[in-house]
Amino acid sequence: MGLFLHAGSLLVIDTQWVGKDASMSMLRNFATVGVATLASRFLGFFRDILIAASLGSGPIADAFFVAFRLPNLFRRLFAEGAFNSAFIPIFAGSLEDQGEGGARKVAEEIVAGLLFVLLLFTALAELAMPLLIHVLAPGFGDDPSKFDLAVVLSRITFPYLLCMSLIAFLSGILNSLGKFAAAAFAPVLLNVVMIATLMLILFLGVDNNPMAGHFLAWGVFIAGFVQLAALIWAMMRAGFRLSLKRPRHTENTRKLIRLGIPGIVAGGVTQLNITIGTIIASFQAGAVSYLYYADRIYQLPLGVVGIAIGVVLLPDLTRKVRAEKSEAVYHAQNRAMEFAMFLTLPAAVALAVVPGPIIAVLFERGQFDAGDTQMTAMALAAFALGLPSFVLNKVLSPGFFARQDTKTPMQFATVAMVINVAGSLLMFPSLQHVGIALATTLAGWVNALLLGVTLWRRGHFHADAQLIRRLALYCLCAVLMGVGVFMLSAYLTPWLEAPLLITRGLTLGVLVGVGIALFLVTSLVTGAISLGDIRRQMRRGT
C-alpha cells in the first residue's frame, strides 16, 4: 500500500506535451482504481485464507474453484478485456462527437442486445453444465462425486456471469464519464459477502463438507446481484439514466460484435491461459487448488497496477487518439509504463525469491498443510517470473483498442495461447502444475513482446529517454532488493517457521517492509528517482 502511494508521487510529469492538471488527473484516477483494487484484493486474501482453512486443497475445494472459475473467467474477460476494449471506444467516441444524448442512445441499443444474449447464454449453459465441466475439468471424470458436485455448484454460480457482464457495461459508462470510484469498489462487495458466508460455514461447523461448497456457491450468486445493485445506484447518482429497449441489430451493436469477438481473446489472454492450465491441472489431485491459491497472490500486483492502468488508460488514449494528439498519446503510454514497472518489478522479484513464507503465513492452517504450502509456493514462483509481462499486456493493449483495432491483439493472443497449451502439455508430465505456471509465464512474455514491437513499428509508441533510463534502473534496483530479501529471509527462518501465527505474520511484515525500503533506497541512490521529484509531486498534489 505504501509503495503504491509513493509511486504515485514519484513519477515526474513533464508538462511539455500534456498539461499538469491532465497528467495529475490521470495519476489520481490510477490511484483511485488501484486503491479500490488493493482493498478488494486484501479482502480477497482474507476470503482465501478462510477458504484454505475450511476446504484446504481437497476434492470439495477443487469442485468449488472450478465452479467459481467458470463465471469468473467471463467476469475477467468482460470486465477487464473484451467488452471494455470494444464498448469504451464506441461509447467514449459517441460522447465526444454527439454529446450525452447520442451516447445514451448508443448505450441503450447495446444493453438491450447484451441482456438478451446473456439470458439466452445463461439458460443454455445451465442445461449443458455437465458438458462444460467435462471441457473445463476433464480430469474430474475419474471421481464421480467430485464431478457431480462441480456440476451442481457451477449451476448455482453461473448467473454471476450475467450480473458481472452488466456491471462491466455500467462500469464502462461510468469510467468514460470520468467516474471511476463506484466501479472500482464494486468487487469489494463480492469479498464482503463471501467472507460473511465463510464465517457462517465455520460457525456451523460444516467445513470440509459438501455443504460448505453449496454455501460458497450461493454466496457467489448473491454477491453478483449485490454488486449490480450498487452500480445501478451509482448510475442514478451520476444522472445517466437508461431505458430498456427492445433488442435490435443496429450499427452500434454490429460494431460492438465486430470489435468484441477478437477482443475476447486479445483482452483476456492471461485468463484464457489460466483456464487452459485449469483443464490440464484437473488430471493432478490438488493441482487446481495449488494454481488457484498461487494465482490469488500474484493477482494482487496485477490487479492493483495492470488492471488499474488498463481501466484508466483506455478512455484517456481514446480521447487523445480521436483528437489526433500524437505526442500526448506517447507521453501517456510512457508514463503509464513507468508507473507500472516501478510497482511491478520489485513485486515480481519478491514473489519469486520468497514465495514459501508468503504462502505459509497466508494459508497454512486448518485443512491447508505444509505440503500444500510447498506445492503452491513453486507455482507462485513460476507465475512471478511472468508478472511484468502480464502487466505490460494491460499497458500496451489500449494502444490498439483506442484505435478500434482488436484483431491484431487477438492474433498475438492466439499465438500466445498456442505456446501456452504446447508448453503446458510438454512440461506437465515432468513438472506437473509448475509446468503449467511456467507455460503461462512464457506465453505472457511472447504476447507482450509482440504487442510492443508492433506498436513501435506502426509509429504508435515511442519509448522516450526518461522511460528507457528508468526501466533499466528499476530492474537493477529490483535485483538488488531481491538479493537483500533472500538473505534476510534465510536469517529470519526461525521466526518465519514459528508455531504462533502472529509471530510469522509480524516477521513476514518486517521482510516486506525491508524489501520496500531497499527498493526505495536503491532507487534514490542510483538516481532512478530523486528527492526533488518527490518534493515537486507533493507540491503539485497540494
Q: Which tens digits make up the pLDDT trace of 277-300?
A: 778 887 887 787 888 888 878 877
Is residue 392 within 8 A of residue 338, CB to CB? The reply is no
Rounded to whole angstroms, how far apart are CA atoms 94 and 426?
48
Angle at 179 between CA 4 and CA 325, to 5 degrees: 85
Rounded to whole angstroms, how far apart are CA atoms 367 and 54?
6
Which cell numbers hold the place of 210? Answer: 459438501
CA-to-CA separations, 246 to 113, 116, 120, 142, in angstroms, rounded: 8, 9, 15, 46
Rounded to whole angstroms, how far apart are CA atoms 262 and 266?
6
Tell me the whole-structure pTM to 2 decimals. 0.66
**pLDDT-flagged residues of the chain (< 50):** 1-24, 79, 537-542
CA dihedral 339, 340, 343, 345 (to 10 degrees): -130
Is residue 7 within 8 A of residue 533, CB to CB? The reply is no
pLDDT given for residue 218 in this prediction: 95
The residues, any chain, with a CB within 8 Å of residue 312's CB and separated by 6 or more, are 26, 29, 30, 33, 175, 180
The upper half-sphere exposure of residue 20, i.e. CA atoms within 13 Å in the direction of its Cβ, equals: 7
pLDDT given for residue 355 in this prediction: 92
Q: How far is CA 327 from the centre of its chain?
A: 29
Closest CA to 451 of 396, 405, 502, 488: 396
Q: What are the sequence ranges of the domains in the chain?
A: 2-541
For cell 525469491, name the residue: 353
Rounded to whole angstroms, how far apart are CA atoms 268 and 274?
10
Which cell numbers hold the place of 7? Answer: 509511486
Is residue 224 within 8 A of residue 164, CB to CB? The reply is yes
Type of residue at 528: A
Closest CA to 15 of 402, 327, 460: 327
Grouping H, G, I as helix, E, B as strand and the rest as coil, residue 404 is coil
Rounded to whole angstroms, how far apart are CA atoms 69 and 207?
20
Closest CA to 83 of 177, 180, 162: 162
Which cell numbers hold the place of 208? Answer: 470440509
